[in-house]
Amino acid sequence: MGPMSFPLPAQPNGTTGQPIVQPENTETTTLSGQATTLPYTFNTKLLQDSACGAWNMDTGASSHLNNSITSLSKFFNTCVYPSISVGDGHSVPVTNTGHSILPTPFKSLHLNNVLVTPHIVKNLISVRQFVRDNNCTIEFDAFCFSVKDFMMRQVLLRCDNTRDLYPVTAPSLIPHVFLVSQHTWHQRLGHLGSDVLRRLVSNNFISCNKEKPLVLCHACQLGKHVRLPFVSSDTVVTSCFDIIHSDVWTSPIPSLSGFKYYVLFLDHYSHFVWAYPLINKSDVLSKFILFRNYVHTQFRCEIRSFQCDHGGEFDNHNLHTLFAKKSIQFRFSCPKTSQQNGKSERMVRTINNLIRTLLFQANLPLTFWVEALNMAIHLLNVLPFTAINNEIPFTCLFGMNLDYSMLRTFGCLCYPHLYPTHKLEPCATPSILLGHAFNHRGYRCLDLKTNKIIISRHVTFDETVFPYVSTQPALPLTYTF
């Protein structure tokens, strides 16, 4: 069969609708000089045995058909169609038009514009006209059909039958499962996720009504609430010191000089990092003032924004007053949300990884962590970083090329030059390299005999020897880093 469209039958007041599209394989007759397309059905034949059957769902009928007006709640003696075409090729006359109702446990379903013709065997419901008039859907399977509300997916009528057609029988018992909401199933199944619930529905293990919108489960919010995912920062800066990231790290042991903390300041644009050892966390304010003055003097610019966590060493009256006075924007991470301060958190982890490695390489005790910190900061500032497209922080900040010729291995054996008072004294002393001198173009060397720091540029190195353990008495390991 080709595509089938049909005219609207007579309305309750006896008026007629407009024909839609001329269907294929239909008969046309003339009423009072006007062509009228006949309704058709393929699932019925001429009446051979006088019988009145139940309604039957038919996907091939263009209109509802009934053989008696007794089945109608309203009927009219006029009809625009003189006859209809049936499956065996004959035409049968139409005597009346009317309306009927199909009762269900939930609401009445309407059968509008039923054509009455006494010569048909089966009373037919046009599926297309039925779903359009009642805003519903019809689902067929091998044993039954179900009429469902289009929006809520609630089963309104369910008729079981194992014969060839789909008659409208006494409504079957609708399983309670069909009437259960998604939220009820969610509770029954132990507050499972929506993806699992949809999978059960799609596999026909359960059936439930659609809810728009889905109900927010209060119990799930209390029992299974999780943190929202973080997205990569899309902050774009165009120059150095637009944003400074900061964090404070606490050491498990004090250094030889009594330091227990360090604060770092990381420039977002160049990725250059500064670190200041602290005896107390309250020293953060004084170190920031030193750092800001350094930036102002050396680079002739101001820090615009300051990103840090919500610790008391940052979120205090003195820093707030200073920042307000200098028009520096404070940017705090939310409490217990270190991911929002991720740049400085990752830098702390990188620094500490390098501190541990340098100490283990040099066989130095953990109390030398400040010396290893200074060396780690120096190395990180001269190494390429993927965060800035493999550029070098030192070059980004100062715009100068690097000279790696002065780099030496941390903790190795070295011989700084001495200035003897008489000609028979040694000209050098065995020492350990502790890094570069901050305010000198030279090296910091720990004299193994006197435990004093010697600063000198005249130093000879043996980078294959790490002499600290062999020159010190064995001590019990009482610290863990």
pLDDT of residue 475: 44
320 and 455 inside one domain = no
Alpha-carbon span 425 to 437, nearest angstrom: 26
418 and 464 inside one domain = yes
pLDDT of residue 215: 65
Residue type at position 228: L
391 and 417 inside one domain = no
pLDDT of residue 255: 92
Which residue range forms the structural domain that includes residue 456?
Answer: 404-471
DSSP code per residue over 25-46: T--EEEETTEEEEPPB-SS--B
Residue from 225, 271, 475, 236 nearest 366 by CA: 475
357 and 453 inside one domain = no
Phi, psi of 155 (to 5 degrees): -75, 115
The per-residue pLDDT for range 163-189, each reduced to its tens digit, is 778 888 876 655 544 457 777 777 777
Rounded mean pLDDT of 138-154? 83
Residue 194 resides in a domain:
yes
Query: Which residue among 345, 364, 398 closes a domain?
Result: 398
411 and 442 inside one domain = yes
Residue 23 resides in a domain:
no
337 and 380 inside one domain = yes
The structural domain count of the chain equals: 4
394 and 262 inside one domain = yes
Q: What are the CA-CA distances from residue 278 to residues 249, 262, 307, 330 (Å)?
A: 10, 5, 20, 22
Residue from 292, 329, 330 nearest 311 by CA: 330
159 and 49 inside one domain = yes
Q: Which CATH number fits the domain that encloses residue 129?
A: 2.40.70
- Token pair 């964090």 is at which residue? 247
249 and 289 inside one domain = yes
Residue 202 resides in a domain:
yes
- Count the neighbouring beta carbons within 10 Å of the beta carbon of residue 229: 6
**Alpha helices for 28-99 (secondary structure H):** none
Residue 9 resides in a domain:
no
Q: Which CATH number fits the domain that encloses residue 300?
A: 3.30.420.10
pLDDT of residue 477: 39
User: Does the annotation mark 462 as catalytic?
Assistant: no
Residue 12 resides in a domain:
no
Residue 369 resides in a domain:
yes
197 and 263 inside one domain = no
388 and 252 inside one domain = yes
**Active-site residue, selected from the candidate residues 58, 247, 267, 309:** 58
The per-residue pLDDT for range 423-437, each reduced to its tens digit, is 787 889 999 999 988
Residue from 208, 200, 151, 199 nearest 181 by CA: 208
391 and 418 inside one domain = no
Rounded mean pLDDT of 6-26? 36
